[in-house]
Chain A
Amino acid sequence: MDGDGEELTAQETALYDRQIRVWGADAQRRLSKAHVLVYGMKGTIAEFCKNIVLAGVGSLTLIDDRIASEEAFSSNFLIPPDENVYGGKTLAQLCCDSLKDFNPMVRVSVQKGDLSSFDVEFFNNFDVVVVSSCSLPAKKLANEKCRKISKRVAFYTVDCRDSCGEIFVDLQDYKYSKKKLEETIECHLRYPSFEEALSVPWKELPRKTSKLYFAMRVIEKFEEAEGRSAGEVSVADLPGVLKLKKELCAVQSLNESHVPDTLLERLVTSTLEFPPVCAIIGGILGQEVIKAISGKGDPLKNFFFFDAFDGKGIIENISNSNA
């Protein structure tokens, strides 16, 4: 609660007028003190960054040392398409340059390095960590490091493939209060880590669990087994992916119809992000991060899926104690 009493400046009140009307001045103050780290500057993360910079977080740190290429700006509006501008620069640097413009009250900066190389101490500088476009082991490792910190660091992974998107949320032990009619209710949510969530046996999950959950796991496993980086698959990999699906379903005693081949085919064929889905997933993720920082509203637990084919945006609770 340190510094919560500070008042917003007149400039902040004027700029944030419409959103203060949604979440209140208190929440706005907390936002302005929050530090957010993102890894993997693709289209979905670009959308997310735009949303929280506009919302007025305290600082945003970007990590992505990859050098910009033509593919990079296909769904990322933060990267200017002029080779004279982007040539030789890293994705993080280019996005940082654009984001700084969006809201002069937010400090946007770049951190060099690979996600796995940062230690617990480094993650301790942040209140929110969002990782995207990285391998399964790297995601698990970052999540574990965040969990070793004494304060709570909200951890998210996010990925879009073709016209599908997935968000994972780990708020560890999350307590918040909400008003229901006249009374205030205290709520307490316990989140599993990414590793714990993924270890829940598939046959224990409800029959209606989103097919996208299983499909994403199959692709993730495939990339890990083949030593690929995230998104590095093509239609040529389909036979291998389908074979792995069979094996996984057998091991997990899950009927194969829960992981349709057509869905897997879509996910490996088109690895470019679909901009409308980036906007949707980046919007939902932005909203979740704002909820977690401000303590206002019910956060989702613990997966969110969107598929443009059916248009549904679904929350799945995938944890050992399905309570």
Chain B
Amino acid sequence: MASEAIKGAKVLMVGAGGIGCELLKTLALSGFRDIHIIDMDTIEVSNLNRQFLFRQSHVGQSKAKVARDAVLKFRPHINIKPYHANVKDPEFNVDFFKQFNVVLNGLDNLDARRHVNRLCLAADVPLVESGTTGFLGQVTVHVKGKTECYECQPKPAPKTYPVCTITSTPSKFVHCIVWAKDLLFAKLFGDKNQDNDLNVRSSDAASSSENVEDVFVRRNDEDIEQYGKKIFDHVFGYNIELALSNEETWKNRNRPKPIYSKDILSDELAQPNGNVDKKCAFDDEFSVSAMASLGMKNPQDIWSLKENSRIFLEALRLFFTHRGKDVGNLTFDKDDQLAVEFVTAAANIRAASFGIPPYSLFEAKGIAGNIVHAVATTNAVIAGLIVIETIKVLQNDIKSYRMTYCLEHPSRKMLLMPVEPFEPNKSCYVCSETPLSLEINTKRAKLKDFVEKIVKAKLGMNLPLIMNSSNLLYEAGDVEDDMVAIYSANLEKVLAELPSPVTGGTMLTVEDMQQEFVCNVNIKHREEFDEEKEPDSMVLSGWTQHVSAPENKDKPAANNGASTSGASVPAAESDEISIVSPTKKRKLTDVPNAPGNEARNHQDELQVIDDEDDLVMLEGNMEGFKKRKLS
């Protein structure tokens, strides 16, 4: 009986955000009595429009804990155990996962989803996975050996932009945002030791790099006004002039126009600065705002070039006068008002240079922060679907498992479209044991590069261990003292010069102890790589995470994730998903060598479950057609 299965079940929820709040409520109402919930986040104002268990007075508190207290008010006698922690913390190991009958994900990022997928596979606990963005959502069921795992299918790749588009030839507003955020903001307020392409391309024509460095460093006694204008004139004026001098670039493009502060703000040059500041007292450093200081209120307004220039200079000034101790170690944060103001203004001024229409701060913030559109209703629907699948999983009703898409526009009269889950992908490097292969220059690439760019960034490992046959090359986490020195020395060595050399033909074993996940990587030596197309100077294949991202209809760059090229937009902040269009064929186009993959291409047409009694359905394997009746 369903009610018995529910009463006796112990479930783990990962995420107490948009989906999580709805899910915890629906689980409690449905009769679940033992729910554990992990979330590392604290409550923010922008959560309150949909995360209905939270109130204004809870802002700043743990989501997991507040969600528990709120649900206990209408279901006082059930057990809800909150963890204000990161699901990737070592305490949540395979043994921890094994105590649950099912794991329910309401996560907001790919990294954590992959981590939970691996733990569920290792612990052999079913996983119900979900995601929403705007009116779209999906729920999938992953049961080891029965259905595909979360990583069996390729996920849309994060959108990346060629470095030269960002540094020299922007054509869309998002290019200007990336420039303002990842190059200019990082250069002025971030870690000075980080590589930064800000001047690399735009100053190809002339100017030694030392000269350029000087411009960005504020001298001890330098007047902040003078400094701000110097920066302004350098990046929007001088750099554009330099770029223009490279005639080749502009043969088939519109020439940008240099912008200098004196031309824009001519009537204000005489005015002494600081007059505005006295009127404006800020409560704390995060309420420091150039808009407030200049008396501008509406974030939906589109500013003129002059307004953008004033915001730019004022925001820059405020960083040095009010947030001086942060300067040098800031990274862009969409919740940092002053940072958003600075980036919006800088992007708009650059856009003006290149003849690109300006955006409001509200829109620019969405693009820069990669804010995912979110509404309460979709989360509520998805939570309901998760509970329905969870009950099937608890009853081991495998035939009834469905993945369900929540659509914005009906397809075959359906707004909620159930589809049969796929069988595991036989060439999945996570849930099968198929080795990967890596092209890399073993005489130039260091072990460190391999760990950062492949093991962590692509394979999603948290605490990796790397072995060359039986020789341990590297291990993260708690390591004996004498090994620490050896491992850090190894990280700095090129692959071919390691104590047990890694060359073409070597098979490396990479393992994550926490995820209890092992995979093998065949090394192929290659001399040259294309700097633009292969910025990592490595090519991993047999790895299914890189399919081109579908264009977002309304806001082209709003839902794109991180890249490895330095100039990039980071992963989305909340409830991010990848919707694979349910009306189209799903293909694994990027894994040509994977055995068994060909069969999938032909077979894996998403098959809608239709209740007409005579419907023929495709089974997702090579056995061909099976006729099946559904009631």
A contacts, CB < 8 Å to B: 7-8, 10, 13-23, 25, 43, 47, 50-51, 54-56, 73-75, 77-82, 101-104, 208, 211, 262, 274-280, 282-284, 286-287, 290, 297-298, 300, 304, 306, 308-316
Chain B residue, CB-CB nearest to A289: B377
Q: Say whether B373 contacts A55, CB under 8 Å.
A: no
Q: Say whether B73 contacts A280, CB under 8 Å.
A: no
Asked if B321 is at the interface of the complex by the 8 Å CB criterion, the answer is no
Cβ contacts under 8 Å, A280 to chain B = 380-381, 384-385, 416
Whether A311 touches B377, Cβ cut-off 8 Å, given contacts A22-B135, A25-B300, A54-B49, is no
Per-position binary interface string of chain B over residues 45-56, scored 1 when its CB falls under 8 Å from any chain A CB and 0 otherwise: 110111010011
Closest-CB distance, A26 to chain B (whole angstroms): 10
Q: Say whether B630 contacts A22, CB under 8 Å.
A: no
Query: Per a CB cutoff under 8 Å, which of A25, A50, A74, A314 touches B376?
Result: A50
Cβ contacts under 8 Å, A304 to chain B = 415
Q: Say whether A313 contacts B416, CB under 8 Å.
A: yes
Cα of A79 to Cα of B73 in the assembled complex, Å: 9
Closest-CB distance, B402 to chain A (whole angstroms): 5
Whether A279 touches B384, Cβ cut-off 8 Å, given contacts A21-B371, A77-B25, A314-B413, is yes
Q: Say whether B416 contacts A312, CB under 8 Å.
A: yes
Q: Say whether A300 contacts B362, CB under 8 Å.
A: no
Cα of A144 to Cα of B371 in the assembled complex, Å: 44
Cβ contacts under 8 Å, A17 to chain B = 46, 49, 362, 371
Q: Say whether B383 contacts A279, CB under 8 Å.
A: yes
Would you give 14 A-B contacts (Cβ < 8 Å), ordered by A?
A: A15-B49, A16-B49, A17-B371, A18-B371, A19-B49, A20-B362, A22-B134, A22-B135, A55-B49, A280-B380, A283-B379, A283-B380, A286-B380, A313-B416
Q: Say whether A311 contacts B135, CB under 8 Å.
A: no
Q: Say whether B298 contacts A75, CB under 8 Å.
A: no
Cβ contacts under 8 Å, A316 to chain B = 413
Q: Say whether A284 contacts B376, CB under 8 Å.
A: no
Q: Say whether A54 contacts B376, CB under 8 Å.
A: yes
Whether A54 touches B25, Cβ cut-off 8 Å, given contacts A18-B371, A276-B30, A279-B383, is no
Asked if B375 is at the interface of the complex by the 8 Å CB criterion, the answer is yes
Cα of A74 to Cα of B297 in the assembled complex, Å: 46
For the complex of A and B, list the 8 residue pairs with the smallest distance between their C-beta atoms, beginning with the closest. A313-B416, A279-B384, A311-B418, A275-B29, A283-B380, A283-B381, A280-B384, A276-B384
B contacts, CB < 8 Å to A: 22, 25-26, 28-30, 45-46, 48-50, 52, 55-56, 73-76, 134-135, 297-300, 362, 366, 371-381, 383-385, 387-388, 402, 404, 406, 408-410, 413-418, 558, 574, 609, 611-612, 630-631
Cβ contacts under 8 Å, B56 to chain A = 104
Cβ contacts under 8 Å, B298 to chain A = 7
Closest-CB distance, A10 to chain B (whole angstroms): 7
Query: Per a CB cutoff under 8 Å, which of B55, B406, B609, B612 touches A208?
Result: B612
Chain B residue, CB-CB nearest to A81: B74
Q: Say whether A77 contacts B416, CB under 8 Å.
A: no
Q: Say whether B46 contacts A311, CB under 8 Å.
A: no
Cα of A202 to Cα of B388 in the assembled complex, Å: 31
Cα of A80 to Cα of B373 in the assembled complex, Å: 32
Cα of A54 to Cα of B376 in the assembled complex, Å: 7
Q: Say whether A81 contacts B384, CB under 8 Å.
A: no
Cα of A305 to Cα of B219 in the assembled complex, Å: 69
Whether A43 touches B377, Cβ cut-off 8 Å, given contacts A310-B630, A313-B416, is no
Closest-CB distance, A3 to chain B (whole angstroms): 17
Cα of A211 to Cα of B376 in the assembled complex, Å: 30
Cα of A104 to Cα of B373 in the assembled complex, Å: 23
Q: Say whether A81 contacts B76, CB under 8 Å.
A: yes
Whether A308 touches B49, Cβ cut-off 8 Å, given contacts A13-B299, A22-B375, A283-B377, is no
Q: Say whether A275 contacts B415, CB under 8 Å.
A: no
Closest-CB distance, B78 to chain A (whole angstroms): 11
Cα of A46 to Cα of B611 in the assembled complex, Å: 31
Query: Per a CB cutoff under 8 Å, which of A15, A74, A102 touches B52?
Result: A102
Whether A21 touches B373, Cβ cut-off 8 Å, given contacts A80-B73, A279-B22, is yes
Query: Per a CB cutoff under 8 Å, which of B26, B29, B418 touches A312?
Result: B418
Q: Say whether B376 contacts A51, CB under 8 Å.
A: yes
Q: Say whether A51 contacts B74, CB under 8 Å.
A: no
Q: Say whether A279 contacts B26, CB under 8 Å.
A: yes
Cα of A278 to Cα of B380 in the assembled complex, Å: 9
Q: Say whether A275 contacts B49, CB under 8 Å.
A: no
Cβ contacts under 8 Å, B52 to chain A = 50, 54, 102
Cα of A16 to Cα of B379 in the assembled complex, Å: 15
Chain A residue, CB-CB nearest to B54: A102
Whether A77 touches B609, Cβ cut-off 8 Å, given contacts A275-B387, A279-B381, A310-B418, is no
Q: Say whether B377 contacts A18, CB under 8 Å.
A: no
Whether A311 touches B373, Cβ cut-off 8 Å, given contacts A54-B52, A208-B612, A275-B29, is no
Q: Say whether A284 contacts B418, CB under 8 Å.
A: no
Q: Say whether A287 contacts B76, CB under 8 Å.
A: no
Q: Say whether A19 contacts B374, CB under 8 Å.
A: yes
Cβ contacts under 8 Å, B30 to chain A = 274-276
Cβ contacts under 8 Å, B49 to chain A = 15-19, 54-56
Cβ contacts under 8 Å, A309 to chain B = 631
Closest-CB distance, B305 to chain A (whole angstroms): 23
Cβ contacts under 8 Å, A211 to chain B = 611
Q: Say whether B409 contacts A298, CB under 8 Å.
A: yes
Chain B residue, CB-CB nearest to A206: B413
Cα of A256 to Cα of B243 in the assembled complex, Å: 77
Q: Say whether A284 contacts B381, CB under 8 Å.
A: yes
Q: Say whether A55 contacts B376, CB under 8 Å.
A: yes
Cβ contacts under 8 Å, A54 to chain B = 49-50, 52, 376
Q: Say whether B609 contacts A311, CB under 8 Å.
A: yes
Cα of A277 to Cα of B371 in the assembled complex, Å: 29
Closest-CB distance, A250 to chain B (whole angstroms): 23
Chain B residue, CB-CB nearest to A19: B375
Q: Say whether A77 contacts B29, CB under 8 Å.
A: yes
Whether A10 touches B413, Cβ cut-off 8 Å, given contacts A275-B29, A279-B384, A310-B611, is no
Cβ contacts under 8 Å, B402 to chain A = 311
Chain A residue, CB-CB nearest to B371: A21
Whether A15 touches B48, Cβ cut-off 8 Å, given contacts A101-B55, A311-B402, A312-B417, is yes
